[in-house]
Amino acid sequence: MPLATRHDVFIRFFPQAPAFRWRQIEREFFAVPKKTWAHLLTLPREMRTQLAVRVPWVSYTQSEVFSSKKKDTYKAVLTLVDGARVETVLMANARDQWTICVSSQVGCAMACTFCATGKMGFTRNLSSDEIVDQYRFWRYYLAQHPDLPKRISNVVFMGMGEPMANYDQVKRAVQTWLEFTDLGRTRITVSTVGFLPRLEKLIDDPDWPHVRLAVSLHSADGTTRKEIVPTSYDDFLARLRTWAQNYLKKYGQGRHHLTFEYVMLSDVNDTDMHAKKLARFVNQIGKVRVNLIPYNFTDGKFAKSRETQIIAFKKILEDAGVTVTVRKTMGDDIAAACGQLITQKS
């Protein structure tokens, strides 16, 4: 269970407060430089003093920041009020702005074999505040570092955890960013292992904010996928295909994007046979982009695909008409790259 949110506490203590009050407060949470309750002079004094006692201004108590040698990637370890620790990453993007990578859980229960977070197991879900505050943390950080570009233009749920296993809190966090920041729907990406019951739910959920989705496919061969993604099962690919067709039928006309992520593991899922199967799978669905992720080392079991094989794999997809990109690896010198996020359990 995630912790109670700031809003839950507000409602408990001020059930009669008009709705605009909370929105007024939430807007202040995003103001830079960082404010505190004492700055909120437009609130009734009684409310301000009560809230100052009961609601921490931010949901982390400590932070530690590591920067890559190239100064293009920063990783923060945030300690939460119960002592749990999560990681969030700030990465320079092609527009000379920042993309932040956020966590949705402490640890992860999905146990993907190539992922460091998968190995630490699951501790708990993050509350929507704890997700939202990873963005606030970096905003405050940038406000204190005038030498760095200011704008966070993108958010990706590619930190620790499986966002679809924490659906309600992730949804609330995304809604909050859409309302109180300049992030638009096409600038937020939720990345999922392919938790189908929730993916099916979001198609019909009137409150789901239709941001971009990325599904961590990693293989269009059923046997290979089951080997590397233990939450996979026999008819996973068939169900995912049907889901993706339905999703695109409903939302594919807009500027929404569906991406398949594909971590490239040498001789495991990167052969020509795998590329052909992937091309066929994508072409059965339609407008899906494939993002090849060079494997970031986590332990001795897997090796990164050879550069020549990544190029060959990409070419097979392109020749079959599939849109494909290769992700740039960043922050691996501070263990801030995809799949390297791990914090000690307290």
191 binds ligand SAH (CB under 6 A): yes
Please report, as residue ranges, which positions from 47 to 106 form the binding site for ligand SAH (by CB under 6 A).
none
Under DSSP, the state recorded for 243 is: H
336 binds ligand SAH (CB under 6 A): no
298 binds ligand SAH (CB under 6 A): yes
Piece of 63-71, 79-87, 107-115, 146-154 that binds ligand SAH (CB under 6 A): 107-115
Dihedral angle, C-alpha 136, 297, 281, 254, nearest 10 °? 20
Q: Which is nearer to ligand SAH, 222 or 230 (CB)?
A: 230
Collapsing DSSP states into helix, strand and coil, what is residue 266?
A: coil
Query: Which H helix or E strand runs over 224?
Result: helix 222-228
Residue 26 designated active-site:
no
Q: What tokens appear for 289 in the block?
A: 């982009």
Identity at 88, one-letter amino acid code: T
Least separation in angstroms between CB 191 and ligand SAH: 4
Piece of 13-21, 37-45, 112-120, 316-324 that binds ligand SAH (CB under 6 A): 112-120
Q: How do beta strands 258-264 and 288-294 pair? A: parallel
Give the burial class of 66: count Cβ atoms within 10 A of its Cβ; 0-12 exposed, 13-18 middle, 19 or more buried: middle
For residue 36, the tally of other CB atoms under 10 A from its CB is 10
Radius of gyration (C-alpha) of the chain in whole angstroms: 21
295 binds ligand SAH (CB under 6 A): yes
Of these, 127, 192, 219, 259, which contacts ligand SAH (CB under 6 A)? 192
Piece of 47-55, 79-87, 186-194, 267-275 that binds ligand SAH (CB under 6 A): 186-194
Cα gap 211→170, rounded to integer Å: 12
Residue 87 designated active-site:
yes
Which residues have CB under 8 Å from 99's CB, separation 6+?
Answer: 90, 91, 92, 93, 152, 153, 154, 155, 156
Query: Which H helix or E strand runs over 293?
Result: strand 288-294
339 binds ligand SAH (CB under 6 A): yes
Please report, as residue ranges, which positions from 156 to 175 form the binding site for ligand SAH (by CB under 6 A).
158, 162
Least separation in angstroms between CB 282 and ligand SAH: 16
275 binds ligand SAH (CB under 6 A): no
Q: Which residues bind to ligand SAH, rule: CB under 6 A?
A: 110, 112, 114-115, 158, 162, 191-193, 216, 261, 263, 293, 295-296, 298, 338-339
Query: Which residues are marked as active site?
Result: 87, 338
